[in-house]
Amino acid sequence: MTPLVRSVRSADTLTRDALAVLQPGFTGTTAPDWLLRRLGEGLVSVGLFGRNVADSAQLAALTGRLRAEREELIVAIDEEGGDVTRLEVRGGSSFPGNHALGAVDDTALTREVARELGRRLADCGINLNWAPSADVNSNPSNPVIGVRSFGADPQLVARHTAAYVEGLQSAGVAACTKHFPGHGDTAVDSHHDLPHIAVDLPTLQERELVPFRAAVAAGTRAVMSAHILLPALDGEHPATLSPAALHGLLRAPATEGGLGFDGLIVTDGMEMQAISATYGIERGSVLALAAGADAICVGGGLADEGIVLRLRDALVRAIRDGELPEQRLADAAARVRALAGRTRSADVGERPEPAPGIGLTAARRALRVTATGPYAPLAEPAYVAAFTPLANIAVGDETPWGVAAELARLLPGTETATCTGEAAAAAGTAALVDGLLTAAAGRRLVAVVRDVHRHPWMADALRSLLAARPDTAVIEMGVPQAPPQGAPHIATHGAARVCAQAATEALTGRRPSPGE
């Protein structure tokens, strides 16, 4: 009797393949010894976050040290521009986000912004960007997408997604279009729980999938899966763990209703509660690979050697136990290595010329000013009331937002107060507004809001403030879903630093001189 041969591959090969499919993170601004050691053992990808970035020179030195250990290496980052920035996590982005670009609706501008952002990434040694977001912002209550989306029209989102992919990849940085098959129609943040999307398949095809088809046609090198449950597609598994979503929809040819994508499929962060609290990270990673994912993103919250070893061993064990086909792991590892070779040293083709100031140009074009009557530009120090919602994890609370800093630069003496939902609940709306009026002491008020339509406490406070001081200027730095009110109302379509600068210029009628 011939014995059953379960594997013809060596244990070392399996281990190297298991390491190859991981995209882990780490802490600090220099490469830890454990990471360098694992690169030598087969790790092919590293994910960077804001905690790894001090400045561009440090970042270039860091990626150079990583490539000294493994030349063909994927160095990935989540740099959307706009509200989600890692390169400028402590100062705010020099580029407006997707919603601002969608508001302008000039694909040439979107392509140029993405090209310049890609050039900066490439100069720092980064060759995979977990961007753009191709989500259609079809649910105004969405707590995690919002201004990260180009808009609510699938066709608009599609043309700008394609332009962004083309611009980014023209700078030698691979795009990773996300969050497949579309995270726009959710009222739940998958960082905290598992969202359910109750749409039928025709709606999915006609709305959510339109931008992803455009991204595939534009040649996106990678696609990131979403931790969302679509019962019409798979009633049991979220998309990241669903063969129907990844193998059957994303990979399937167009003749079978699929997208025909043959590039790298990357999971969203596996430590997010939608996966970790439901399946566990190890089990979730095995299921994701089995469903068709090629690269396991982990490291936003878990960023040490322990998680790398846990996942490596879980994948090897799953193959030995017959839970994960050996060839599936080998194919996934081969795709990762192929992209690492293709984007070697983030130097594909001729590097584009710098386009200084393109981000501010785009932010200025995205601005929408609404006025019900005449108003005087700000010429004296003002009092800024920043109505601040709880930041979602994707954006983080490290990155500053608002107009106070920019306004104080133009009008020294400007002061600001931060107002939160907790403060409004504790003191009551009337007391909160009375406090602002007293502190303003007759100065012109500027109310800064963010997605006022999603926060009843914010809407109530703004309404009371405007009733008392109709000359209050209102700056909406989120999705401008609520009717405009204020003298004037300025919609920035995002909270990037350049959006704040553009809003301040509009409010004061002046631009800072080079020395200011």
The dihedral formed by the CA atoms of 4, 6, 8 and 9, expressed in degrees to the nearest 10: -160
Residue with tokens 């595939």: 216
Q: Given the residues 268, 294, 455, 493, select the one marked as catalytic.
A: 268
Q: Angle at the Cα of 164 (from 159 to 167), degrees rounded to 5?
A: 125
CA pair distance 108, 160, nearest whole angstrom: 9
Q: Identify whether 493 is a catalytic site residue.
A: no
Neighbours of 295 (CB within 10 A): 29
Q: Are 487 and 470 in contact (CB under 8 A)?
A: yes
For 223-291, the DSSP string reads EEE---B-TTT-SSS-GGG-HHHIIIIISS-GGGTS----SEEEPSPTTSHHHHTTT-HHHHHHHHHHH
| Residue 146 falls in which region: left (phi positive, over 0), alpha (psi -120 to 50) or beta | left
Rg for the chain (alpha carbons), in Å? 24
Q: Identify whether 191 is a catalytic site residue.
A: yes
| Residue 345 falls in which region: left (phi positive, over 0), alpha (psi -120 to 50) or beta | left
Q: Given the residues 99, 160, 179, 191, select the one marked as catalytic.
A: 191
For CA atoms 133, 135, 137, 140, the dihedral sign is negative
Q: Which residues are catalytic?
A: 191, 268
